[in-house]
């Protein structure tokens, strides 16, 4: 996890360290869409309304908790939850070690980010200024889509410095805090925020026109 000191546009809180994930988990291929949210939660809160296949946004961490509770009431097989920060980054990287799963740079035809703030040497400066339907852009090597850009994704972790240990197994993040970690960047932010290692935060009550979610799950029999 984290980024090397040589990675362009990195932040100081991305201290590189080794994480060991010891449990299997599932992660949604796509961000939760407006139609998904309406079907489960019965509401359409998004600022960019009218696109059912676009990711839902303007949802707080507390809203997401309620959504997950509704999913869990319907499922005998899975325990739905948010990914930890470590699980999210592992899935975003999909076996790669570069700033993006696409390599050292990412173009605006590979992800929906603010093209007026491109990655180093990235071709194109397309700024769509809105969400795009999930799956518009190519998947990463593990078949996950929109891990870079479109909307920020809430994670389970409170924000804090990374563990000081050289290797940590299944880090749960700090036990408490003021803000939760969000990952992935969005249509409104530049490419630097869409890097695999980039960390950003919001208070659990915050709403935003680029705050969305991707659901993780664990099989109940394996918990």
218 closest CA partner among 19, 22, 37: 22
For residue 7, is it within any domain?
A: no
Q: Which strands, in side-by-side order, build the sheet including 211-212?
A: 200-202, 180-183, 152-158, 211-212
Radius of gyration (C-alpha) of the chain in whole angstroms: 16
Q: End-to-end alpha-carbon separation of the chain, Å?
A: 24
Residues 50, 61: Cα–Cα separation, whole Å: 23
For residue 111, is it within any domain?
A: yes
Tokens 């518009």, located at residue: 136
Residues 6, 8: Cα–Cα separation, whole Å: 6
For residue 197, is it within any domain?
A: yes
150-189: burial string, b at 16+ Cβ within 10 Å, e else: bbbbbbbbbbbebeeeeebeebebeeeeebbbbbbbbbbb
183 closest CA partner among 72, 112, 83: 83
Residue-level pLDDT at 73: 97
For residue 4, is it within any domain?
A: no
DSSP state of 189: S
Residue-level pLDDT at 124: 62
For residue 8, is it within any domain?
A: no
Residue-level pLDDT at 127: 86
For residue 6, is it within any domain?
A: no
Strands (E), the chain: 18-20, 26-27, 78-81, 152-158, 167-169, 180-183, 200-202, 211-212, 216-219
> pTM higher than 0.85 for the full model?
yes
What count of residues does the chain have? 223
CATH code where residue 186 lies = 3.90.1580.10
Residue-level pLDDT at 45: 97
pLDDT per position as a tens digit, 159-171: 999 987 778 899 9
The structural domain count of the chain equals 1
Residue-level pLDDT at 26: 98
Low-confidence ranges of the chain (pLDDT < 50): none
pLDDT per position as a tens digit, 95-143: 999 999 999 999 999 999 998 888 776 666 778 999 999 999 999 999 9
Residue-level pLDDT at 223: 52
Residue-level pLDDT at 222: 56
Residue-level pLDDT at 116: 86
Residue-level pLDDT at 217: 98
For residue 3, is it within any domain?
A: no
196-221: burial string, b at 16+ Cβ within 10 Å, e else: bbbbbbbebebebbbbbbbbbbeeee
Domain range for 50 is 17-223
Residue-level pLDDT at 221: 74
Is residue 102 within 8 Å of 110, Cβ to Cβ?
yes
Residue-level pLDDT at 63: 98
For residue 201, is it within any domain?
A: yes
């Amino acid at each position: 996890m984290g980024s090397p000191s040589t990675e362009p546009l990195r932040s100081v809180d991305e201290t590189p360290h080794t994480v060991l994930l010891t449990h299997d988990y599932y992660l949604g291929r796509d961000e939760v869409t407006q139609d998904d949210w309406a079907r489960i939660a019965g509401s359409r809160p998004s600022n960019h309304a009218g696109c059912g296949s676009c990711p839902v946004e303007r949802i707080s961490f507390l809203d997401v908790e309620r959504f997950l509770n509704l999913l869990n009431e319907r499922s005998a097989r899975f325990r739905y939850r948010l990914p930890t920060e470590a699980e999210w980054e592992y899935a975003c990287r999909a076996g790669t070690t570069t700033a993006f799963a696409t390599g050292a740079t990412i173009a605006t035809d590979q992800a929906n980010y603010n093209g007026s703030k491109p990655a180093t040497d990235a071709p194109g400066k397309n700024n769509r200024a809105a969400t795009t339907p999930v799956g518009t852009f190519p998947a990463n090597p593990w078949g996950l889509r929109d891990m870079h850009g479109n909307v920020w994704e809430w994670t389970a972790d409170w924000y804090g410095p990374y563990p000081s240990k050289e290797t940590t197994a299944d880090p749960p993040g700090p036990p408490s805090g003021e803000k939760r970690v969000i990952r992935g960047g969005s249509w409104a932010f530049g490419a630097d925020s869409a890097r695999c290692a980039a960390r950003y935060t919001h208070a659990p009550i915050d709403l935003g026109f680029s705050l969305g979610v991707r659901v993780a799950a664990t099989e109940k029999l394996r918990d």
